[in-house]
């Protein structure tokens, strides 16, 4: 709004200056045409009759081949720029408008005055030229006062627009966000509708619907995951049971192999001992043979004892 205010002021300032220049140009044309019709010695008095034609602060200069007249409503000396502009118009026969000087305008330096020249012609020939140097400071002062009022108006409007914008932002964005955050903090797995959808929340209603759909998908995936975990637990129990059965069968097989080996290792010495006992039952054996059979039987029994201990 401040930028628009400055832009509008500059547009109106340029229009005002343009209208001011047109008014001064019309006054200059009238003054120059009147001067051409007055005798030389009556020029100054004729302009002095109506000083409102060139108010205080304006500088007027008129020149031709035979006379030069200047009326300065300002106490300072006539600037050389006005004289040069008038003589240039007298020479070329072309009217001109140029701005000169620098002064404080709106926000930055601008032209202090405007110099307007007008050629007086007779039968297509330039016989004289007049020029006017008019100050623009009064216009800048008026616009600075207007700018202050406009700036106060912009500040007041900006304050109310800020309050209104803050209220709208709070209603449209902040409050829905607070509700979403609060619902997120109090979310429970058993909630059937997590984010409440309200038409007045505008885009947040769409966001709430999308979040609810996402949570439904998450809940469905969670249910499937629980079923999968239950199935995995059941399969794990079955695997453990099968593993225990395999271990038990392996243990039984090991015990069986151990038993068979022990039986084989013990069976041979026992068979030998039984054989020697049968031999000892014979009556025709010599004492040396009996002692030998008894020693052999003792060695086999010792072998059996060693196997059992191992």
* Nearest CA-CA partner of 191 in 173, 228, 210, 218: 218
Domain with CATH 3.30.450 in the chain: 2-152
> Cα separations (Å) of 42 from 27, 35, 229?
19, 9, 119
Give me the pLDDT at residue 171, please. Answer: 67
Residue 230 structure tokens: 């239950």
CATH architecture under which domain 263-309 falls: Orthogonal Bundle (1.10)
Spatial separation of the C-alpha atoms in residues 165 and 3, rounded to whole Å: 19
CATH 3.30.450 fits 2-152, yes or no: yes
Spatial separation of the C-alpha atoms in residues 270 and 83, rounded to whole Å: 156
pTM over 0.75: no
Give me the pLDDT at residue 247, please. Answer: 93
Give me the pLDDT at residue 240, please. Answer: 92
Task: Split the chain (310 residues) into runs of 10 and give each run's mean pLDDT.
Answer: 70 84 88 72 44 68 66 49 88 89 74 89 85 85 74 74 76 68 65 54 64 78 91 92 92 89 87 88 86 90 89
Spatial separation of the C-alpha atoms in residues 185 and 202, rounded to whole Å: 22
Give me the pLDDT at residue 206, please. Answer: 63
Q: What is the dihedral of CA 162, 167, 172, 176, to 10 degrees?
A: 130
- Name the strands in the sheet holding 125-135, side by side, starting at the edge strand that comes first in the sequence: 68-72, 59-64, 125-135, 113-122, 96-100
Residue 94 structure tokens: 């072309």
Give me the pLDDT at residue 48, please. Answer: 40
Give me the pLDDT at residue 38, please. Answer: 63
Domain with CATH 1.10.287.130 in the chain: 263-309
Spatial separation of the C-alpha atoms in residues 11 and 143, rounded to whole Å: 11
DSSP 197: P
Residue 136 structure tokens: 């623009």
Could you tell me which residues come within 8 angstroms of residue 70 by beta carbon, excluding any fewer than 6 positions away? Answer: 59, 60, 61, 62, 78
- Find where tokens 């003589």 sit: 87
Residue 7 structure tokens: 């832009």
Give me the pLDDT at residue 50, please. Answer: 46
Spatial separation of the C-alpha atoms in residues 96 and 189, rounded to whole Å: 86
Is residue 195 a contact partner of residue 212, using CB atoms and an 8 Å limit? yes
């Amino acid at each position: 709004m401040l930028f628009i205010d400055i832009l509008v002021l500059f547009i109106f300032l340029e229009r005002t200056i343009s209208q001011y220049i047109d008014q001064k140009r019309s006054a200059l044309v009238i003054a120059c045409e009147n001067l051409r019709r007055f005798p030389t010695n009556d020029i100054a008095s004729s302009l002095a009759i109506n000083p409102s034609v060139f108010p205080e602060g304006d500088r007027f200069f008129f020149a031709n081949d035979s006379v030069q007249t200047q009326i300065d409503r300002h106490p300072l000396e006539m600037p050389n720029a006005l004289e040069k502009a008038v003589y240039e118009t007298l020479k070329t026969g072309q009217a001109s408008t140029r701005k000169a000087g620098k002064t404080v305008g709106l926000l930055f330096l601008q032209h202090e005055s405007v110099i307007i020249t007008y050629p007086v012609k007779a039968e297509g020939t330039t016989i004289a030229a007049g020029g006017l140097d008019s100050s623009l400071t009064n216009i800048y002062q008026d616009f600075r006062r207007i700018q202050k009022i406009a700036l106060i108006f912009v500040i007041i409007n900006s304050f109310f627009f800020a309050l209104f914008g803050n209220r709208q932002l709070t209603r449209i964005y902040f409050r829905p966000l607070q509700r979403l955050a609060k619902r997120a903090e109090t979310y429970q797995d058993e909630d059937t509708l997590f984010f409440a959808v309200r038409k007045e929340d505008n885009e947040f209603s769409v966001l709430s619907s999308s979040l609810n759909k996402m949570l439904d998908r998450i809940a469905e995936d969670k249910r499937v995951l629980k079923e999968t975990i239950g199935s995995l637990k059941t399969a794990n129990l079955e695997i453990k049971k099968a593993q225990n059965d395999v271990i038990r069968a392996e243990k039984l097989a090991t015990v069986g192999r151990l038993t068979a080996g022990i039986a084989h290792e013990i069976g041979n010495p026992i068979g030998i001992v039984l054989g020697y006992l049968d031999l000892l039952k014979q009556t025709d054996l010599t004492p040396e043979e009996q002692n030998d059979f008894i020693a052999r039987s003792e060695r086999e029994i010792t072998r059996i004892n060693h196997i059992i201990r191992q």
